[in-house]
Amino acid sequence: MIEFLAALTDPSLPFFRYAVLTGIFASIPFGVIGTYVVVRRISYIAGAISHCILGGVGAGLYLQNALGISWFGPLHGAIVVALLASLILAMVSMHAKQREDSVIGALWSVGMAAGLLFIARTPGYSDPMSYLFGNILLITQTDFYLVLALDVLVIGIIGFFYNTFLAICFDEEYAQLRGIRTHWLYLLLLCLVAMTIVLLVRIVGIVMVIALLTLPAAIAGNFARNILQMMVLSTIFCILFVVLGLGTSYSLDLPSGPVIILFAAAAYLLALLGLKGYHIIAGRH
Amino acid sequence: MTEETAAIEIRDLSFAYDDIQILCNVRLDIWRGDSICIVGPNGGGKTTLIKLILGLLSPDRGTIRIFGRSPEAERQRIGYVPQYAKYDPQFPISVLDVVMMGRLAGTLRNRYSPEDRDRAMAALGQTGLTDLAARPFASISGGQRQRTLIARALASGGDILILDEPTANIDHESEVQFLDLLKGLNERMTILMVTHEVGFASSFFKRIACVNRQVVIHPTSRLTGQLIQEMYGGDLQMIRHDHRCSEEGHRHD
């Protein structure tokens, strides 16, 4: 822990401060959007969007390095593809609900396949590993500001649509009867999920982003009385996992993403066991 | 009858899921203040009929008019009570917050006003749930959840109340209370209810609609006593799902 604090204050290690700060501010969209992903039970949809992003990243790298289109990079590619995937998934949910799981599976792997092919054809060496598993220590100042912008976007939109989104997640059919345009708002929600994933993939990577999106919210769900509480609690849990994970990975010289995820998973398991134990003890009285 | 438009008027309605014909040439008039119990075999089209009336599905042929207009235009006048079993038992939400959804309107923001809150509390009072307002929806009993959903429908203040199998999984005592509640509501609302229990139905509803691809209406006065015995072979609680409403069996208008 002392090493961790020393690293935080060390002026020669600015990347570490950015990593910690970005992790803390990224916990807000993780907690807020993760809550919706958990209560609406769309973690597979979030998984598909996340894996599709590799396709966009690959296309961005290819356009930039092979075709020399310098203004279009991996981040732009990721945003375009993630929004496109949300649109497809929202339309499938509207018009062909019974095919939803097949489409999720297809998007999931097609995105990965396209990404790997683009990367293979991109001149120079680009390592897909850092996209797949993330590296928070490569976070730049720009990434940090982008995460701040995402915080403002997520809090602003969710604050405005709180009651409407709650109704859509709890009972979409009833929301529609009350005159809410549920399809458009579901699409908006998926787009927010997509934007959150795009920016947060930098931290824990495409493969593990789902864990950090769902585990804190799933733990919070056991204690929260409403979804606002669930958002606040899961944001706090997320901050805890990111800081603990970063500190530990720094001290033990381990990759940060997996350490963060294992902290989250261990906490989830403890929460489940603790609740089970509590119910058994409470049941005896 | 009167010159008033019907609460619900259905003409030549047909609906199919893919190639499976669910409803065929349905004609149905439901008057203001009517109370109709919808019975029929599973897969006979009861829920489909309700979803068509609510405008959640569109008919392949025919028309549905709610107070003379389309279901989409008038559906805010319908209070809908779905089966409570479809809800995620882990969803973190209070009883009051569920009932508040009855106050949602077509606006984007849907901020609730103090009046919305008063209406929701009044609806909770009507259904005897005032003390449970702050409790998590997941922690209350099945009967209480059902009443919460009725309160949500009442909070929206419509003229028609549609209930989908509200008595499934609730005990007999709650059922009696529930019936009293419906009787009170029927003084100002038109009531449609899907149920499996014909005994329950005949004691309160004015008419019974048998739905099995077609819809046939029976006045409950003719359905009591002798006819129920003939239809169901005794005072049964459950409807036999193998009987046919239309072709043979019992008489109708």
Residue A175 near chain B (CB below 8 Å): yes
Residue B251 lies in a domain: no
Query: Is the separation of the CB atoms in A176 and B54 below 8 Å?
Result: no
Query: Is the separation of the CB atoms in B137 and B94 below 8 Å?
Result: yes
Cβ distance B92 to A229 less than 8 Å, yes or no, reads yes
Could you give the C-alpha distances from B222 to B39, B183, B203, B229, in angstroms and in order?
16, 20, 12, 12
Residue B41 lies in a domain: yes
Residue-wise pLDDT for A153-162, tens only, equals: 999 999 999 9
Q: Which residue has the tokens 């919808």?
A: B38
Residue A226 near chain B (CB below 8 Å): yes
Cβ distance B110 to A225 less than 8 Å, yes or no, reads no
Smallest CA–CA distance, residue B181 to chain A, in Å, is 22
* Total beta-carbon pairs less than 8 A apart between chain A and chain B: 80
Higher pLDDT, A148 or B206: A148
Q: Is the dihedral of CA A5, A7, A9, A15 positive or negative?
A: negative
Range among A55-59, B15-19, B213-217, B227-231 with highest mean pLDDT value: A55-59
Range among A243-247, B72-76, B180-184 with highest mean pLDDT value: A243-247
Residue B13 lies in a domain: yes
Does pLDDT of A230 surpass 60? yes
What lies within 8 Å, CB to CB, of B80 at 6+ separation is A174, A177, B54, B153, B162, B164
Name the residue among B78, B93, B136 with its Cβ closest to that of A170: B93
Within 8 A of B98 by CB-CB distance, chain A residues are: 170
Residues of B with CB under 8 A from a CB of A: 54-56, 75-76, 78, 80, 82, 87-88, 90-94, 97-98, 100-102, 104-106, 108-112, 136, 152, 156
Smallest CA–CA distance, residue B171 to chain A, in Å, is 24
* 3-state secondary structure (DSSP) of residue A190: helix
Q: What CATH number should be reported for the domain holding residue B32?
A: 3.40.50.300
What lies within 8 Å, CB to CB, of B192 at 6+ separation is B8, B30, B35, B36, B37, B38, B50, B53, B160, B161, B162, B163
Residue B237 lies in a domain: no
Give CA–CA dist A209/A196, Å, rounded.
10
Average pLDDT (B169-188) is 80
**What rounded mean pLDDT belongs to chain A?**
91
Chain A, nearest residue to B158 by Cα: A178
Residue A160 near chain B (CB below 8 Å): yes
**What rounded mean pLDDT belongs to chain B?**
82
Does pLDDT of A275 surpass 50? yes
Give CA–CA dist B152/B145, Å, rounded.
11
Specify the pLDDT at position B234: 39
Give CA–CA dist A36/A185, Å, rounded.
13
Name the residue among B90, B97, B104 with its Cβ closest to that of A178: B104
Query: Is the separation of the CB atoms in B154 and B188 below 8 Å?
Result: no
Among the listed residues A266, A225, A199, the one whose alpha carbon sits nearest the alpha carbon of residue A50: A199
Which tokens belong to B198?
A: 């014909």
Counting Cα atoms < 13 Å in the Cβ hemisphere of A238 gives 35
Name the residue among B94, B108, B156 with its Cβ closest to that of A226: B94
Name the residue among A163, A178, A225 with its Cβ closest to that of B94: A225
Specify the pLDDT at position A166: 95
Residue-wise pLDDT for B120-159, tens only, equals: 999 999 988 999 999 999 888 888 888 899 999 999 988 9
Query: Is the separation of the CB atoms in A106 and A85 below 8 Å?
Result: no
Residue B152 lies in a domain: no
Domain total for chain B? 1
Pairing of strands B207-212, B35-39: parallel
Specify the pLDDT at position B201: 60
Within 8 A of B101 by CB-CB distance, chain A residues are: 166-167, 170-171, 174-175, 178
Q: Which domains does chain A have, with CATH numbers?
A: 2-284 (1.10.3470.10)
Counting Cα atoms < 13 Å in the Cβ hemisphere of B115 gives 3
Residue B92 lies in a domain: no
Cβ distance A160 to B87 less than 8 Å, yes or no, reads no
Q: Tell me what percent of the residues of chain B surpass a pLDDT of 70.
A: 81
Among the listed residues B21, B115, B10, the one whose alpha carbon sits nearest the alpha carbon of residue B62: B10
Which tokens belong to B223?
A: 């359905």
Within 8 A of A39 by CB-CB distance, chain B residues are: 88, 91-92
Which tokens belong to B58?
A: 């569109």
What lies within 8 Å, CB to CB, of B91 at 6+ separation is A39, A169, A170, B137, B138
**Domain range spanning residue B228?**
8-86+158-232
Give CA–CA dist A26/A239, Å, rounded.
8
Which amino acid, A256?
Answer: S
Chain B, nearest residue to A180 by Cα: B106
Specify the pLDDT at position B198: 66
This complex has an ipTM of 0.87
Query: Is the separation of the CB atoms in A197 and A71 below 8 Å?
Result: no
Among the listed residues A229, B51, A267, the one whose alpha carbon sits nearest the alpha carbon of residue A275: A267
